[in-house]
């Protein structure tokens, strides 16, 4: 009732405000193609069905697996990070230049000696070398070595040679 | 056939076994209202047809999230008005040259339209409406042709009732001026 009154009031108001407009036929001047509204629901339903299937598929994949996938990804990423930081066998060893040079020289020398000369020959060479024949200051006569390194005694040297299974004749020599 | 109530339609849609049937009832109930609302805005039938289909696809995709904070028909009308305004905006961006504006294109569609059966004064009224800015045109069409209450239009457009009344009043004045001067 109130609604009808309102509409009448609005119509009256419109007549006063816009007499030409209120005189225009309010009937819808547009038309739609024949049977358009009979066919439209089917067209819309057809368009909605693939949408529904697509939605179901995405819901199936992402709703069910998404949390699992996220957790799995985090765990894998964490494991890879730990491996790269602490275990990685391919990680290059950081050495400074001096260390590296010494390392290469020592390794090279030991490899060369072990390939070509046996241990007894090396010891023999060291013990038999006299100070006047020595040209290399780095090679010390055994007493000089013991004098410069008072922590080591002759007994220490003999013990070392015995530990290294050195021939007794060579040791007494 | 008697129109089903919105509550009945929603209850059918919410049941997986009957959702297709429920949605087809919804389309049957609202298709004409939505079509004419959009047709008055876009003028061309083909544009309207595409937009109406898009509106109902959006309704279908979002109906499960509809919380009944508003009435079903105002919710559908809101989707429809947003879609119609969005199509007009897209057209505006397409015809970026000032000499080819959207209103001019719509006017051409109106005069070429095989599905316009109105008389001369009705044609003039449509031309006058096309002179209005898009939002004002929307308010005028919903109020004048859709005969909706300001309360409902406020819910659909998200505008206050006072602003809607002012907008409609202004639109009527401009249309009256156009009709008397042409």
Query: What domains can be seen in chain B, in order of their start residue?
Result: 1-97 (1.10.1740.10), 117-182 (1.10.10.10)
Q: Which residues of B touch A (CB under 8 A)?
A: 20, 23-24, 27-28, 31-32, 35-36, 39-40, 45, 49, 52-53, 56-57, 60-61, 113, 115-119, 121-123, 125-126, 144-145, 147, 149, 169, 172-173, 175-176, 179-180
Quote the CA–CA distance of B156 and B148 in Å, as a whole number: 10
Q: Which residues of A touch B126 (CB under 8 A)?
A: 29
The predicted pLDDT at position A139 comes to 46
Of residues A51 and B69, more confidence is placed in B69
- Inter-residue long-range contacts of A62-70, CB under 8 Å, 24+ positions, other chains counted: none
Burial A94-113 (b: 16+ CB within 10 A, else e): eeeeeeeeeeeeeeeeeeee
pLDDT in tens, A56-94: 555 555 555 667 788 889 999 999 888 888 777 776 666
Quote the CA–CA distance of A110 and A102 in Å, as a whole number: 12
The predicted pLDDT at position A7 comes to 65
The predicted pLDDT at position A137 comes to 47
Total residues found in chain B within this entry: 182
Task: Please count the CA atoms within 13 angstroms of the CA of A69 that sit on its side-chain side.
Answer: 6
Helix axis angle, B134-144 to B150-157, nearest 10°: 150
Give me A173's structure tokens. 């020599």
User: To probe the interface with B, which of A26, A48, A50, A59 has the most B CB atoms within 10 Å?
Assistant: A48
- Inter-residue long-range contacts of B127-131, CB under 8 Å, 24+ positions, other chains counted: B127/B178, B127/B182, B128/B174, B128/B175, B128/B178, B128/B179, B128/B182, B129/B40, B129/B175, B130/B43, B130/B103, B130/B106, B131/B103, B131/B174, B131/B175, B131/B178
Quote the CA–CA distance of A164 and A99 in Å, as a whole number: 27
pLDDT bin (cut points 50, 70, 90) of residue B132 is very high
Candidate ranges A25-29, B2-6, B8-12; pick with highest mean pLDDT: B8-12
Tell me if A21 and B125 make a contact (CB, 8 A cut-off). Answer: yes
The predicted pLDDT at position B38 comes to 96
**Tokens 């046996």 found at:** A118
Determine the distance in angstroms separating the CA of B36 from the nearest CA of chain A, rounded to an integer: 8
Total residues found in chain A within this entry: 173
List C-alpha distances in Å: B15 to A63, A154, B19.
21, 99, 6
Determine the distance in angstroms separating the CA of B38 from the nearest CA of chain A, rounded to an integer: 12
Whether the pLDDT of residue A40 is over 80: the answer is: yes
Longest pairwise C-alpha distance within chain A: 138
pLDDT bin (cut points 50, 70, 90) of residue B110 is confident
The predicted pLDDT at position A138 comes to 45
Residue A39 touches chain B, beta carbons under 8 Å: no
**Tokens 């879609």 found at:** B83
Lowest mean pLDDT among A22-36, A65-79, A85-99, B148-162: A85-99
Determine the distance in angstroms separating the CA of A4 from the nearest CA of chain B, rounded to an integer: 11
ipTM over the 0.90 cut-off:
no
Q: Provide mean pLDDT across the span A16-35.
A: 91
CB nearest to A29's CB, from B60, B61, B116: B116
């Amino acid at each position: 009732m109130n609604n009808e009154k309102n509409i009448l009031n609005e119509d009256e108001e419109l007549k006063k405000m816009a007499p030409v407009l209120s005189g225009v036929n309010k009937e819808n001047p547009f038309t739609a193609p024949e049977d358009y509204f009979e066919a439209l629901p089917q067209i819309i339903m057809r368009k909605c069905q693939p949408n529904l299937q697509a939605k179901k598929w995405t819901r199936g994949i992402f709703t069910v697996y998404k949390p699992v996938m996220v957790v799995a990804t985090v765990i894998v990423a964490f494991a890879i990070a730990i491996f790269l930081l602490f275990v990685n066998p391919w990680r290059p060893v950081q050495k400074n230049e001096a260390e590296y040079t010494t390392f290469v020289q020592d390794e090279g020398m030991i490899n060369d000696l072990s390939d070509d000369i046996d241990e007894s020959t090396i010891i023999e060479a060291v013990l038999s070398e006299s100070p006047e024949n020595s040209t290399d200051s780095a090679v010390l006569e055994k007493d000089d070595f013991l004098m410069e390194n008072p922590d080591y005694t002759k007994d220490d040297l003999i013990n070392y040679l015995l530990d290294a299974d050195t021939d007794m004749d060579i040791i007494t020599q | 056939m008697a129109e089903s109530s919105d509550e009945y339609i929603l209850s059918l849609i919410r049941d997986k076994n009957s959702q297709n049937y429920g949605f087809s009832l919804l389309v049957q109930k609202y298709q004409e209202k939505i079509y004419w609302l959009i047709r008055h805005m876009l003028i061309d039938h083909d544009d309207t047809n595409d937009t109406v289909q898009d509106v109902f696809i959006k309704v279908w995709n979002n109906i499960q999230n509809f919380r009944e904070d508003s009435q079903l028909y105002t919710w559908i009308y809101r989707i429809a008005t947003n879609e119609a305004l969005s199509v007009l905006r897209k057209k505006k961006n397409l015809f970026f040259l000032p000499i080819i504006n959207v209103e001019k294109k719509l006017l051409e569609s109106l005069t070429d339209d095989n599905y316009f059966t109105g008389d001369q004064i009705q044609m003039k009224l449509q031309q006058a409406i096309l002179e209005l800015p898009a939002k004002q045109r929307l308010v005028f069409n919903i109020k004048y042709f859709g005969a909706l209450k300001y309360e409902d239009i406020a819910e659909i457009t998200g505008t206050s009732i006072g602003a809607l009344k002012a907008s409609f009043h202004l639109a009527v004045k401009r249309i009256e001026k156009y009709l008397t001067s042409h």
